[in-house]
Chains A and B, each alone.
Chain A
Amino acid sequence: MVVEKLLRLSNTRLPHDIGWALEAAAGWETNEIAYSQLGAIMDNVKKAEFLGRPMCQDTGIPVFYVSGKFDSSIAGLIAEGVRKATKSIPLRPNTVDPITRENSGDNLGEGMPIIHYHPTDDDFTEITVLPKGAGSENMSKLAMLNPADGIEGVKRFIIDAVLNAGGRPCPPTIVGVGIGGTADVCMEMSKEALLRPLDVENEDPVLKELEEELFIKLNESGLGPMGLGGSSTVLGVRIKKAYCHTASLPVAVNIGCWATRRATARIKPDGTVEYIQGGE
């Protein structure tokens, strides 16, 4: 029930911070085509929320993050929620066998749903979902840079990843970045970075500055909404870091489309549930 509702909320209602960022972007645009794209997006967001329909036909693969207090039964509950939501919302059945390309029809299958676990000492459980569409996910990049490439190498890699993706990940995008860790942790951080709302600043002052620098640089590029030209290419850059091996400098980019959908359910000990999307 909670998971089904979470999937409905995330797919039909864009978090407010992203809505505001789109409004701001439209305010800066002087390019007529760019303005038409942002107009169509905002019109679409309003209709989706009003009609209770998924804002994008690519309802993605739901990536779940579970934190707080939980036990092993949670995986089954999440899977059941995905199966139900696929029919009731409806979501597009997206999951296929990678070899035979056979569609499971219910967004489940081997390795699905994807769940990341972060147990804490809190007395509540939080389930967050990030429905991730393929247009943006297919633009993911990982580089194991040489430490000598330094921060300049990191910036170059991020800028190239976004600009080479062009209009394919549906700009204006949110750029998730992981720096450090191992290859797998770096990619994981780049996706998890997308969960931080646009109105929440990075706690690390160095990363905050780097995010702002990349934000300006990418929006000066001229790529624009849908890659058709304009001044709004990204709505935000979100970076997470972890220590890495002295011989490594991993950097990962995971782009979120303009519809970087997310929602969290906080289940309290008394059984009440609070739904949070950020930007409120």
Chain B
Amino acid sequence: MRILESPLSEETVRSLRLGEIVYINGPVITGRDEMHIRAIEKAKAGEKVPDEIIGSVLYHCGPIMTEIDGKKSVVAAGPTTSARMNSLESEMISRFHIRAIVGKGGMSKEVAETMAKEGCVYLAATGGAAVTLAEGLYAVDGVEWEDLGMAEAMWKFRANKLGPLIVAMDSKGNSLYEKVNESLRR
């Protein structure tokens, strides 16, 4: 079992092999469609974005959160479909040096090429395994852009053994999804 410590170095990221099963410890942020749009808009306008985005492990996830006595905690947090962010992700990776994307279903060839260039990997989380994955997020460090709604806000978590995650797109431009797709018996 390989446990990766976030923030990840480019060297660690580039050492990951396709199909490897890994877990993550340390800071993880969430971001979906609206978070991507806002981060890019702000950066383009020369405005500051939250520091945590830089060099982050970005989890495509819209969690269910609850608040008890003013303390926020995570109820369920599985991955969302990453392909929805295909048109936004290359810019996110290049601008903010995202080191790992955690999601489901994989991303486009264009994103794979950007990941190879910038040193980023795609880690597949099990879709729907929201309670198991929430157990891997033991602390809530805060939230940004809560006006976007619970699902679309940027949540800041600390992970302890978040996973299992499969290295489904490596930093050499290879994609497990593409390999599976090429050998499909239709």
On A, residues with C-beta under 8 Å from B are: 33, 36-37, 40-41, 43-44, 47-48, 51, 53-59, 90-94, 96, 101, 103, 105, 133-135, 138, 159-160, 163, 166-168, 170, 220-229, 257-259
Contact = CB atoms under 8 A, between A and B. Distances in A.
Contacts of A170: 104, 127-128
A47 B132 contact: yes
Interface of B: 19, 21, 34, 61-64, 66, 75-78, 80-81, 83, 104-106, 124, 126-135, 149-151, 164, 166, 168, 176-177, 179-181, 183-186
Contacts of B131: 44, 47-48, 51, 53-55
B68 to A, nearest CB: 11
A228 B66 CA distance: 32
Given A223-B184, A226-B104, A56 B66 contact: no
Nearest to A96: B149
> Which secondary structure dominates chain A's binding surface?
loop
B65 to A, nearest CB: 8
Given A36-B164, A54-B64, A228-B166, A94 B128 contact: no
A103 B133 CA distance: 25
B105 A57 contact: no
Given A56-B128, A57-B63, A90-B75, 14 more contacts: A40-B132, A41-B128, A57-B76, A57-B78, A103-B149, A167-B105, A168-B83, A168-B105, A220-B185, A226-B104, A226-B124, A226-B127, A227-B106, A259-B128
B162 to A, nearest CB: 12
A54 B75 contact: yes
From B132, B151, B166, residue with most partner A Cβ within 10 Å: B132
B104 A58 contact: no
8 contacts: A33-B19, A36-B126, A41-B126, A43-B132, A48-B130, A54-B130, A57-B61, A93-B151
Contact of A57 (B62, B164, B176): B62
